[in-house]
Chains A and B, each alone.
Chain A
Amino acid sequence: MSEKVVFWYGCNVVRHGDIIHSSIEILRAIGLEVAPVGGPSYCCGTSKDANLRAADGMAKRTVGKFNDLAIRLAEGGPPPADGTGAAASGAPAPAEPLAAAKVVTWCPSCHRHMNQFMGEYTDPQFPMSHFTQVVHAQRERLRERLVHRVERRVVLHRHFGFREVDVNPLVEDLLRLIPGLELVDSDVSVPGHMCSALVSVPAALKDVTRGVCDLAREAGADTVATVFHSCQRVLCGLEATEPFKVVNYVSLLGEAMGLSLVDEYKEWKLAGSADAVLERIGADRVEELGEAFVREQLMPELLRAPAK
């Protein structure tokens, strides 16, 4: 019987269904059975600093759902095999085989919020690891599935703020498994845990964006690999003006596995005009969402070019 995990992908990553679907396939490729969860009903509450009552309620609801789901999934299942599952803060360190499935995080904000806040005043009964830790621990198993050459010269866009998990070397190791991929050595790393943290400091985001372009050009890279979804969201529009592609690392792993998943969000960002965006989203989906809502609420971010 395979180990079962909860894959908690978060909220904002839903802009990139390709990242979610690639991640699920990668987890399955290393032998896990996956129960994905995300969206508003699993929100961690990290965006609610101005409303602590809401943050409190969201945290308790989400931890309660994880406790329920992780224990249900683990019933009859084997203990986790990779040994990476430090219990979420506040949870007792398990001395015996775990009675709850592991929660595998994607979003560094969710992971941090669970460690810094949610796990400190709720009662999480599940172990938690980041996606990079889980996949890296089983990377030899993943290697067997990376059979398609990905001929790219790649530079990794690195942040140094996700202190809880040293993701950059883990991602570099995973990228080096891909046949045909050449990873540029670089120690350039930028503030924040991911680019969304920089959005509220436009001058810093501008510096980081310009630095990404300089790094890729100087390295002769044809691809900038992002680690997190918000970096993909913020930087993918660079393809309109720069001589490199911006691709999340799980998409590169997926490409090597033979997956054909499209980053539609990037296609929309590169469409160039509101009408072209609407055309690429497609009439049916625009009608479902409401054209006025798409134009007024979604279009501004889709037409916003990265400042550098």
Chain B
Amino acid sequence: MDSLRAYLDRFVADTLDRCTRCGRCYDACPMTPYARELDGASPPAVVEGLLPLLQGAPGSTEAVAWVKVCTQSATCIDACPEGINAMLMLRAARMGALGSLGGEAQMSSTEDPLFFRKIEAFAATQLTPDEIEQWHRASPGERSAS
């Protein structure tokens, strides 16, 4: 079995190899107007500043701003003339900006530390104890379909 990190490393190497820094992914993004740092930014320059994040190195201020407003709208994917999954590139850059790829974090995580506790709490209000036992906790061998 592979690992997430090994898969990311392959994706990053392929992306760095193929990306021409043309900036069309940035041009296609519907979210750039929501980042003040991106006013008047050069699309190729923003992409150039993004690529180091994929390797855990610091990205430019503009690149991090772009990562922060990415909402996975996917319009960037079809825009890439090299066939790179640019949405995935932004996601990997987000991991880099969070410090997950080895470098210093350039943005803080928005993950709620109580996320799962809240999920369990809402589940307790919306599902019966038997449903929670069967649907959330039972092992596959204990399950059936109905």
- Taking Cβ atoms with an 8 Å cutoff, the residues of A that contact B are 4-6, 11-12, 14-18, 20, 33-43, 47-52, 55-56, 59-60, 65, 68-69, 72-73, 101, 112, 116-117, 120-123, 160-163, 191-193, 197-198, 200-201, 203-204, 264-265, 281, 285, 288-289, 293-294, 297-298
Contacts and interface: CB of A to CB of B under 8 A. Distances in A.
B109 A50 contact: yes
Contact of B1 (A16, A18, A123): A123
Contacts of A43: 116
Interface in B113-146: 114-127, 131-132, 134-137, 139-141, 143-146
A201 to B, nearest CB: 5
A39 B120 contact: yes
A20 B136 CA distance: 13
B100 interface: yes
B69 A204 contact: yes
Contacts of A4: 145
Contact of B144 (A35, A160, A197): A35
A211 to B, nearest CB: 13
A33 B145 contact: yes
B17 interface: no
Interface stretch (B3-11, B19-27, B47-55): B3-11
Contact of B7 (A47, A120, A204): A120
A14 B119 contact: yes
A187 to B, nearest CB: 15
A39 B74 contact: no
Contacts of B5: 52, 56
Contacts, number: 171
Contact of A298 (B85, B101, B121): B121
Contacts of A297: 114, 117-118, 121
Given A73-B145, A121-B2, A121-B6, A41 B137 contact: yes
Top 5 A-B residue pairs of the complex, sorted by shortest distance between their CB atoms: A17-B126, A39-B136, A121-B2, A69-B140, A163-B74
Nearest to A293: B121
Interface of B: 1-8, 30-31, 34, 68-69, 71-75, 77, 85, 87-88, 91, 94-95, 98-101, 109-111, 114-127, 131-132, 134-137, 139-141, 143-146
Tell me which of B68, B87, B115, B126 has the highest count of chain A C-beta atoms within 10 A of its own C-beta: B126
B119 A11 contact: yes
Given A16-B126, A116-B88, A191 B31 contact: yes
B111 A50 contact: yes
B109 A49 contact: yes
Query: Quick one: which of B1, B3, B118, B125 has the most chain A CB within 10 A?
Result: B125
B64 to A, nearest CB: 13
Contact of B71 (A15, A201, A298): A201
B143 to A, nearest CB: 5
Given A37-B135, A40-B120, A121-B7, 14 more contacts: A14-B119, A39-B132, A47-B115, A49-B109, A72-B143, A160-B73, A161-B73, A191-B30, A191-B71, A197-B73, A289-B121, A293-B117, A297-B118, A297-B121
A37 B122 CA distance: 15
